[in-house]
Structure 1
Amino acid sequence: MKKWILSGVVVLSVFVMGMQEVSKSPPTLVNIARYDSDFSYDVRYATQNNFLKQKVYDCVQCLLIPEVADALADANNYFCDLGYKIKLYDCYRPLSVQKKMWKIYPNPSYVGNPYGSGSIHNRGAAIDMTIVTLDNDTLDMGSDYDHFGKEAHIDYPHTDTIKANRKLLWEVMKKFGFSPIRTEWWHFNFDAKNYGLEVLDVDFDCS
């Protein structure tokens, strides 16, 4: 397990939008690829293979605030010791992308309202993920990522194998401070999400 810490100091430029504080210049965000080398990636919003049917990220990146990145790296280290690793679907998401999602699918059970409180993704404190073997073999979780149906719900009565896979995923993530949500088995919010994080609307630096 290798870790590189990417840090920096930036000046916040914050304005009020509805009930949100929206920052165009973010607090320190960590590119998890430089912070930890042992993740797998399937960032579908950098492709057309997503429910939007369009590419909305210019490149494959996973950005998080440092506290969340550190906890996620610890969780991945734990999974690696068990013979698995984390595959990342999504991390920090700009508010502009959240608005596109809401326009296409305005259902607060699945998409955070960008004109209300937004998503924890917009704060760099949520991840969409699964686990795979160290050889990148997929574990059956009962539905595909971003499946907006009851099969994705955490209480859906799947087979024993799927239940065991999900239990492993959730128990390890909870151990490191992450909580799942009811409608999406792949989504985890960092438990310290309520400490005044601003909603961010910052494009990825793909240079």
Structure 2
Amino acid sequence: MKSPSFCLLFFLFFTHTDSHGQLAEQRKYPKRVSSVAAHQKEIQRSSALNMVDPQTLIPGLIYDLRYATEQNFTGKRMYPKGTRSSFLRVAAAKALEKAADSLRQYGLGIKIFDAYRPFRVTLRFWKLIKDERYVANPSKGSGHNRGIAVDLTLYDLKSGAELNMGTGFDNFSDTAHHSFENLPAPIARNRYLLKSIMTQAGFNALETEWWHYALPNPSAYSILDIPFKKLNIKSINH
């Protein structure tokens, strides 16, 4: 039988090793805000950092949150069941409102596939696809983690029909790239309209995804890892 002192040393060694491993894992990734309390402190410094539901600002905006379903590249539900809305920083939401105002003259509205994405989900994505053309490297964080990126398409306000963009959401072929030119004229016009309106509103396009737009200067925004159920606008001080 092993002595009590040996067992204690064995336990302390592996506890230390496990703690060291967890610390090393933490240091691999950037600092992030993971509680509502910490986010409220951010807002006290600058109200522009507040997270809001863009649907509260934009009439006609609708959600089709693919990561709350199995209709995405993972084939799995990545967000909690029943997630029906999302969030953006105030600056991003107001820029999107500007884009929506411009689109309304064409009888078009915005449909959002994804907006805010908790950092923990980015970690899961990276384990599946380690390709920075399509998935954010968690060592840097993403625009979605910062609340300044949105994946979207356009739809007809009268009929509710989506405009044809040539591929669906989460298509990782070069057909989804902005530089892809072998498109029928109506589809090319749809993409051009979306890109023109979004860039005029202050967003930058992602070359490999026609649906992805983000505000510039991501370093001005912290990486968030707050669950949807906790990041509720009713609990955030405006």
Give the SS at the match of 2:97.
helix
CA distance in structure 1 between the aligned counterparts of 2:212 and 2:224, rounded to whole angstroms: 19
Q: 1:123 and 2:146 equivalent?
A: yes
Determine which structure has the larger helix proportion and give its number. Answer: 2
CA distance in structure 1 between the aligned counterparts of 2:53 and 2:195, rounded to whole angstroms: 23
Determine which structure has the larger strand proportion and give its number. Answer: 1
Give the SS at the match of 2:75.
coil
From 33, 49, 54, the equivalent of 1:23 is 33
Deviation at 1:163, TM superposition (A): 1.0
Counterpart of 1:97 in structure 2 is 121
Counterpart of 1:32 in structure 2 is 54
Matches within 5 A, 1:78-117: 78-114=102-138, 116-117=139-140
Give the SS at the match of 2:226.
coil
Deviation at 1:29, TM superposition (A): 0.8
Q: 1:161 and 2:186 equivalent?
A: yes
From 198, 204, 207, the equivalent of 1:182 is 207
From 117, 142, 149, the equivalent of 2:173 is 149
Partner amino acid, structure 1, of 2:58? D
Partner amino acid, structure 1, of 2:54? I
Q: 1:62 and 2:86 equivalent?
A: yes
Deviation at 1:81, TM superposition (A): 1.9
Give the SS at the match of 1:20.
coil
CA distance in structure 2 between the aligned counterparts of 1:87 and 1:17, rounded to whole angstroms: 37
Give the SS at the match of 1:129.
strand
TM-score normalized by the length of structure 2 = 0.75
Identity %: 33
Deviation at 1:123, TM superposition (A): 0.2
Counterpart of 1:136 in structure 2 is 160
Q: Per the alignment, do residues 105 and 34 of structure 1 end up closer, same or farther by CA in structure 2, a change over 3 Å counting?
A: same
Counterpart of 2:236 in structure 1 is none
The size of the alignment, in residue pairs, is 190
Gaps of 5+ in 2: 1-25, 43-49, 233-238
Indicate if the aligned counterparts of 2:114 and 2:150 stay in contact, CA closer than 8 A: yes
Gaps of 5+ in 1: 1-15
Indicate if the aligned counterparts of 2:33 and 2:223 stay in contact, CA closer than 8 A: yes
CA distance in structure 1 between the aligned counterparts of 2:163 and 2:150, rounded to whole angstroms: 18
Indicate if the aligned counterparts of 1:20 and 1:198 stay in contact, CA closer than 8 A: no
Indicate if the aligned counterparts of 2:58 and 2:100 stay in contact, CA closer than 8 A: no
Give the SS at the match of 1:180.
strand
Counterpart of 1:5 in structure 2 is none
